[in-house]
Amino acid sequence: MNCLIVDDNIIARTTMAQLATQVKDLVVTAECATAVEAYNFLQEQTVDLLLLDIEMPGMSGLELTRNLAKSSPVIIFTTSKKEYAAEAFELNVADYLVKPVTVSRFIQAIDRAREVINSKKEDVKVEDQEFVFIRDSNIIRRLKIDDILFAEAMGDYVKLHTAQKFYAVHSTLKTVEERLPASKFVRVHRSYIAALNKIDSIQDGALVIQGKPIPVADAYRAALNRRMNIL
C-alpha cells in the first residue's frame, strides 16, 4: 500500500513519514507541501492513500478532496484542529487524525483505510461479494450481504435493516442499489430495496419481511413479480 503525505509543515511531514515506517506494508511514495502540488502529482501518478493536512495555503485539504475524481485515493485527514471533523466525514474519508498522532492511533487509521482499499479493488465482482463496507458512527464496518433484509431511504441517509438492528449510512438509495448484488436485491419502491430471499409474503400491495410490511409501488410491481418466480 503506497501513500502520499501532504502537509505544508515540514516537521509534520517528517513525523507522518516516521509513523508510516511502523506499518510494514505502507510505503511513502512522495511528499507534497501544498494541496495544488498534490493535485498535480495525482494527475500523473496513482497512490492508494493520502495522508492529508487540512489547513494549507492556497487550497485546503477539504478543497483538494472535493476536486479529486471519484477514483481518488482513500484519504486520512491529519490536522491539529477538531472543528473540521463533521465536514471531513461528509466527504467519506477513512479517518480523521488530530495531531499529535500516537503510533497506536495511526495504525488504527491505516487499518481502516486498508479495509476501504480492499473493498474498492476493481477485480472484486459485486455479484460475488459476501459483504459490503459501511460507515457506522465514523467506523468502517463490514456487513454481510446475506444479513441485509431491506434498505430504506430516510432523507440524506439509507437505513440497512438486519434482523438485529439497522445501520444508517450517509448515501442515496441509488448508490446503495448499485453496490448491492442485483441477483439478490430488487427495488420495490422509490424508498425501498428488498432482499428477494427474505420476502415472506405479498399482500395488500405490500411485501412482508420478518413481520415488517414494505410498500410496493405500481412502477416496480411487474419487475418484482418476474423476479419472484411465482407459480
pLDDT tens string 39-88? 999 988 889 999 999 999 999 999 999 998 656 799 999 999 888 888 88
Element (H, E) at 170: strand 166-170
Q: Looking at the structure, do residues 183 and 210 belong to the same domain, yes or no?
A: yes
pTM passes above 0.85: no
How confident is the model at residue 137, as a pLDDT? 66
Band (pLDDT 50/70/90 cuts) for residue 227 is confident
Query: Count of H helices and E strands in the chain?
Result: 7, 15
CATH number at residue 36: 3.40.50.2300
Q: Looking at the structure, do residues 94 and 23 belong to the same domain, yes or no?
A: yes
Q: Looking at the structure, do residues 82 and 139 belong to the same domain, yes or no?
A: no
Q: Looking at the structure, do residues 96 and 19 belong to the same domain, yes or no?
A: yes
Q: Looking at the structure, do residues 99 and 205 belong to the same domain, yes or no?
A: no
| Cα dihedral 157→160→163→166 (10° resolution) | -30
Q: Looking at the structure, do residues 42 and 114 belong to the same domain, yes or no?
A: yes
Q: Is pLDDT above 80 for 186?
A: yes
Whole-angstrom distance, CA of residue 63 vs CA of residue 12: 20
Whole-angstrom distance, CA of residue 15 vs CA of residue 203: 62
Band (pLDDT 50/70/90 cuts) for residue 119 is low
Q: What is the mean pLDDT of residues 202-227?
A: 87
pLDDT tens string 120-152? 654 444 445 688 888 766 678 888 999 999 999
Instruction: Cell 503510533: give the residue.
Output: 103
Average pLDDT score, the chain? 87
Number of domains in the chain: 2
Q: Looking at the structure, do residues 8 and 114 belong to the same domain, yes or no?
A: yes
Q: Looking at the structure, do residues 131 and 103 belong to the same domain, yes or no?
A: no
How confident is the model at residue 52, as a pLDDT? 96
Quote the domain boundaries for residue 13: 2-119
Among candidate residues 119, 144, 170, the one where a domain is terminated: 119
Give which of 81, 108, 102 is closest to 16, Cα–Cα: 102
| C-alpha Rg value of the chain to the nearest Å | 21
Q: Looking at the structure, do residues 110 and 185 belong to the same domain, yes or no?
A: no
Q: Looking at the structure, do residues 193 and 222 belong to the same domain, yes or no?
A: yes
Give which of 148, 179, 178, 144 is closest to 166, Cα–Cα: 148
